[in-house]
Chain A
Amino acid sequence: MVKKILLVITAQAESLKRVDFVAQLALASDAQIIALNVVDTSVAKHLKTATGTSESETIVRLQEDGWHYLYDVEDTCKGLGAKIVLQQEEGFPESVIGNTAKRFKADLVVMAYSRAGGYTQTRSERFVTSVIERVDCPVLVV
């Protein structure tokens, strides 16, 4: 039985669009959703160059955006009556997701897949594959 679902929030439109589905899945199996956002601090270095803002300012922005997404997801799940807790971590996303799934003994990891095509889709494929290699439980890609 699935009792703990680790929902990876990648701050992508894809992951937010599929929250309803995950909430229904959780309700059907009386499972708890652990919504996880990972702040990839290494991205801040690249964004610093692109945006001209300092690395620390960029990290603050990423942290706030992450929490904003998480509370948005929570609000949707709450509206449907699904059980949910929030987690935000920092680090290399694939590793953090793997470690979090083990730490909280997740029965299922749910993550979004981008069908946008081109580089975005290739990056999404690599990300999903990398997570699958790091977790012991099944991964549902939606």
Chain B
Amino acid sequence: MKLINCLNEKTVEVRSTLKERGPILSRLVALVLATAGFMDPDALLGEIEAREKLGSTGIGQGVAIPHVHLKGIEGLHVAMMTVPGGVDFGAMDDMPCNIFIIVVGPDEDREGYLKLLAEVSRLLSKEKTRGTLLAAKTPAELLATIRDAEAG
């Protein structure tokens, strides 16, 4: 599963000026539901926040990947946002997070969900990719960066 196939211009946002964890999560939920209203936003936000309470999904180097798998939804759903100013997301390396990707998958496809999380995490471990994503001025530029990174 390629990340690029899970994103479109409606599910990405660049250069957000949000400064706090709560509004970031709310915005990610709104983005991931933008093209596929597969569940109630408040319910999804509750699930995402419950996961964050067990430990930050900030994986270091400025990247956070809030994620959850749920019963009764179909397919994998992803949204992405860059926040160049950075936000304290409680990551273990204490660095502010500036690239956020939300991943929502079905209980019934746990393997596909884990594979996509692994692909996203690996992709964003590359410093060059992170730099290009943060420099993107439009959703189209961000999507082009993802496409190039996955091709390379």
Name A residues whose Cβ lies closer than 8 Å to a Cβ of B. 32-34, 60, 63-68, 71-72, 75, 77-78, 81-88, 104
Contact = CB atoms under 8 A, between A and B. Distances in A.
Given A64-B118, A78-B51, A81-B54, 8 more contacts: A33-B55, A65-B118, A68-B115, A75-B69, A75-B110, A83-B55, A87-B92, A88-B125
Interface in B106-150: 110, 114-115, 117-119, 121-122, 125
Contacts of A65: 118
Contacts of A33: 55
Contacts of A78: 51, 54
Given A34-B92, A63-B125, A64-B122, A85 B114 contact: no
Contacts of B110: 75
B51 A85 contact: no
A34 B114 CA distance: 18
Contacts, number: 49
Query: Looking at A33, A34, A67, which has the most chain B CB atoms within 10 Å of its CB?
Result: A67
Contacts of A71: 114, 117-118, 121
> How many of chain B's residues touch chain A, expressed as a range?
10 to 19
Contacts of A88: 59, 121, 125
A82 B51 CA distance: 10
Interface in B53-98: 54-56, 58-60, 69, 92
B121 A67 contact: yes
B114 A86 contact: no
A75 B117 CA distance: 12
B118 A85 contact: no
A84 B53 CA distance: 9
B125 A84 contact: no
Contacts of B55: 32-33, 83-85
Contacts of B115: 64, 68
Contact of A87 (B54, B60, B117): B60
